[in-house]
Structure 1
Amino acid sequence: MGQVNDDLVVEAGDVHWLRADVALAAAARRQAAQLARGLCFSEDRVARVELCVTEMATNLLKHAHDGSLALRVVRTDGRAAVECLSLDNGPGIDDLHRALLDGTSTAGSLGIGMGAIGRLADVSGVHSLHGRGTVVQARFWTDGQVPAPRPVEAGGLTRPISGERMCGDTWSVRTANGHGPDALLLMMCDGLGHGPLAARAAERAGSAFRESTRTSPADVLQDVHQNLRGTRGAAVAIALVDVAARRVRLSGVGNVTALVATADTRHGLLSMPGIVGVQMPRPRTFEAAFPPGAALVMHTDGLSGRWKPADFPGLFAQAPVVAAAQILNQAAVRRDDAGVVVAAYRQR
């Protein structure tokens, strides 16, 4: 397996999901403050995080038919941030520009408006679908400084099956040495079943992916297969985003959906039947073009594979985590583990 790989870009981590109910605002403030203080935020910045999640919670309770908050710590390039995501299945936002104006509020919310989320947070984003729902993102870095953007940005989100705290789905992203400075390797994993045993398989897959020093998707998949022996196994897909060649190469086994999407097209990348760690066929590698403006989307079978990019106007202009959250929000099977990771190639 080689030495521990220091090229990790970002990974799933633990996500704290809070459903929309009358206690949401208080619970969100407590959880967000705990995460922020765990990263040694100043009390002033802790208060900013608390104010932000309070506005998110208030908006959910007043406007959404169904919704939740996802709170987590994001670690990337040796830095850390608290991230707050609001997902709802409400009516959407008719006038997004007006809603984002600082100080604007609707239907008797706190009065600071969604625009204040952008003012309070170091990074923010929003994507809304009329009559279907909205995703709002706010991220607070420990030092308040936003990292320089990469040509290909990646992010994702997981959610456990209803009634479980541990998720059997996970994802991870690391650099791919030898394929240029901007190349990335992505893993999407679905541990078989649900609960602690599925989560254990997913954790083992993540460890193998991080520790592997190889960069061929088929070779990395073999490393994951070896490390999953003795577990219940998993569906796993490994993708290489080769920016210099403008290609994506993918090797997968099991039911993981992978596709290259543009604003109105999708090109699927196949996975082979089998179970990684149990009975895996000889890996095959499939390729697709990856031009600027495209996004690689990988997700588990906790989401329907029937969604179409044209149903999500403007989605891939958003940060990858916002895109991942909206796909999960709209396409997830409500009673299953779900995981999505997105890598977006920005136009320059």
Structure 2
Amino acid sequence: MNGDVVLDHGIWFRGVESGSAASAVRRAAERLGAQLELGDRPVADLAIITAELTSNLVKHAQEGMVLLRPVRRGGRAGVELIAVDHGPGMADLTVSSRDGHSTTGTLGIGLGAIVRQASWFDGYSLPQRGTVLAVQVWSGPAPEPSWAGALTRPMTGEQVSGDGYAVRVVEGRQQVLVCDGLGHGPLAAAASEAAVGAFRDAPNGSPGAVVRHLHRMMSHTRGAALAVAELDPAGGLLRYAGLGNIAAMIVVEGARRRGLVSLPGIAGHQNPVVREYDYPFQVGATLVMHSDGVVDRWDLADYPGLVGRAPLVVAATLLRDAGIRRDDACVLVARAEP
């Protein structure tokens, strides 16, 4: 896959199981760091991190993949790497990330080097289930971790994903979007890109009003299933409006789930009924939204401690284990914070 230009949705490197594949990821990461003008030192750190991440995949992982993409916040840009595998996993990621610790008789410096060089790092691992590691490199200190994290993956054989997502804060409203363009390939991606663009430019309003706006702005596309949620932990509420087969659940303490209601319809076509629903949503609750490229039989209770990790790590873990290879897939996770 061409690593010369990395769009904001990123590039997946699949099957990172050889030295040549690992080198391709490292070169692409260095190019992206240079394109974003991170500076010599951050790019050097990025090269070390990428080499260690991919070396771990080559040595230990099964079905290892890496997502490389830019990350933007507050007018700044950095580079993000997400490594995902189905390998042997680790019982204690914190212990394994200390220099000198090893499970295979090696020097055990890999994860320690990643933690030291990264501007931001988080991860999750379970024995016999695999590992997810998320790393960011910035020029200067990393911004505060985001309250929401998401990623998409195109179906096997496609270069672009018809699924998309976006996050915004407008006049204090914390809103998220997940969308699934009809079909696959470039036309489905164009529909999702239209939804994302319209969402980012939408007037301040509740999720129902935003969904109606997206519907009007997408009439030139093949259409999409989509849903918009607004987190209001101060008010103890989550407001939600959805059209089509976007799944959404609120996960509370003990990993109990509550499903949210999306109505039938296609944004951009016909004249769908849009209805907004309110749900209890206290501080500490987690919102999970995903397209139908992710089966909904996942249960966070099967992942001890995962709900406390960064939203991006939660999303990547669910995508790894519940994503369908024969369909585009998207997972978004957002957390109610004080």
Asked if structure 1 preserves the Cα contact closer than 8 Å seen for 2:53 and 2:110, the reply is no
Contact 2:73/2:143 (<8 A) preserved: no
Q: Distance in 2 between matches of 1:311 and 1:25?
A: 31
Q: CA deviation at 1:24?
A: 2.1
Matched residue of 2:332: which SS? Answer: strand
Q: Find 2:69's aligned residue among 48, 69, 72.
A: 72
Shift of 1:107: 2.7
Q: 1:37 to 1:283 in 2, by over 3 A?
A: same
For the 8 Å contact 1:103–1:116, the answer to whether it is kept is: no
Closer, same or farther in 2 for the Cα pair 1:144/1:316, shift >3 Å?
Answer: farther
SS in 2 for 1:40: coil
Give the CA deviation at 1:309: 1.7
1:145 paired with 2:141, answer yes
Any conservation in 1 of the 2:231–2:336 contact (CA below 8 Å)? Answer: no
Q: Secondary structure at the match of 2:110?
A: coil
CA contact 1:105–1:113 (8 Å) conserved in 2: no
Aligned pair count reads: 329
Aligned residue in 2 for 1:316: 307
Specify the code of the residue in structure 2 equivalent to 1:171. Y
Q: What residue identity is the alignment partner of 2:93?
A: L
Give the one of 8, 14, 28 matched to 2:9.
Answer: 14
Could you tell me which amino acid in structure 2 is paired with residue 193 of structure 1? G
Q: Structure 2-normalised TM-score?
A: 0.93
Q: Distance in 2 between matches of 1:162 and 1:42?
A: 35
Q: Find the counterpart in structure 1 of residue 285 from structure 2.
A: 294
Structure 2 counterpart of 1:169, one-letter code = D
Q: Does 1:201 align with 2:197?
A: no
RMSD across aligned positions (CA): 1.7
Residue 133, structure 1, aligned to residue 150, structure 2: no
Can you list the C-alpha shifts for 1:180-202, whole angstroms capped at 9, x where unaligned? x3x30110000011110000000
Q: 1:120 to 1:147 in 2, by over 3 A?
A: same
What is the deviation of 1:242?
Answer: 1.3
Alpha-carbon offset, residue 111 of structure 1: 4.5
Q: Which residue of 22, 25, 31 maps to 1:34?
A: 31
Residue aligning to 1:7: none
SS for the counterpart of 2:238 is strand
CA displacement at 1:32 relative to structure 2: 0.5
Q: TM-score normalized by structure 1?
A: 0.90
Compared with structure 1, are the counterparts of its residues 148 and 96 closer, same or farther at alpha carbon in structure 2 (3 Å cutoff)?
Answer: closer
Contact 1:15 1:159 in 2 (8 A): no
For residues 29-54 of structure 1, the C-alpha deviation after alignment (integer angstroms, 9 at most, x for no partner) is: 11100110011122222111011111
Contact conserved, 2:92 with 2:125, CA < 8 A, in 1?
Answer: no
- Distance (whole Å) between structure 2 residues aligned to residue 334 and residue 204 of structure 1: 24
The whole-number CA distance in structure 2 between the counterparts of 1:110 and 1:174 is 43
**Of 240, 243, 267, which residue of structure 1 is paired with 2:230?**
240
SS at match of 1:114: helix
Residues 269 and 287 in structure 1, CA contact (< 8 A), matched pair in contact too: no
Which residue identity lines up with residue 172 of structure 1 in the other structure? A
Separation in 1 of the partners of 2:324 and 2:189? 18
Q: Percent identity?
A: 44
**Contact 1:58–1:109 (CA under 8 A) maintained in structure 2:** no
SS in 1 for 2:283: coil
Q: 1:224 to 1:108 in 2, by over 3 A?
A: farther
Question: Which of residues 51, 66, 82 in structure 2 aligns to 1:54?
Answer: 51
1:244 is displaced (CA, Å) by 2.1
Change over 3 Å in CA distance of 1:18–1:52 after alignment to 2: same
Residue identity in the other structure for 2:255 = D
